Amino acid sequence: MKEQTLSIIKPDAVRKNVTGKIIDRFESNGLRVAASKKIHLSECEAKAFYQVHASRPFFKDLVQFMVSGPVVVMVLEGENAVLKNRDLMGATNPKEAKAGTIRADFAESIDANAVHGSDSLENAKNEIEFFFAKKEIF
């Protein structure tokens, strides 16, 4: 089924100047960039976006990391986009990520792990709405 999912290229990957290399992984594997923008999240926005993790011990570090520099937020579209994006990303901890995945190739640590991707179709809808108006998605 054709789906849309939210992808974020996190501040570490933007700092390393590998946004193009990461987007190529998506485009070379059947996903299309339907919307894209570079933004610098406020602390308030980062907290709201990661609200599900608010009670986790790593929440404060996660928010500080996400506001440490600009990010590229994208809507990716394609067949099974949610799962496909998660497969291309690799495991949360880059040390456990399979060879050839984005996190294995571009991430340094579980904190600075290069990309975010929605983990379900329902979350994808909410996360896309968080960043994009309907008229910004093509």
Residues classed as catalytic: 116
Shortest Cβ 50–Mg ion spacing (Å):
9
Give the chain's end-to-end CA distance (angstroms, integer). Answer: 18
Shortest Cβ 138–ligand IDP spacing (Å):
26
Q: Which of residues 100-119 bind ligand IDP (CB under 6 A)?
A: 110-111, 113, 116, 119
Which one of 15, 58, 100, 137 is in contact with ligand IDP (CB under 6 A)?
A: 58
- Residue entry with tokens 């500080």: 64
Q: Which of residues 110-129 bind Mg ion (CB under 5 A)?
A: 119
25 and 88 in contact (C-beta within 8 Å)?
Answer: yes
87 contributes a contact to ligand IDP by CB under 6 A: no
What SS3 state is found at 8? strand
Amino acid at 103: R
Amino acid at 95: K
Q: Smaller CB distance to Mg ion: residue 62 or 138?
A: 62
Q: What is the 3-state secondary structure (H, E, C) of 20-62?
A: HHHHHHHHCCCCEEEEEEEECCCHHHHHHHCHHHCCCCCHHHH
Q: Smaller CB distance to ligand IDP: residue 29 or 136?
A: 29
Shortest Cβ 30–ligand IDP spacing (Å):
21
Binding site for Mg ion (CB under 5 A): 119
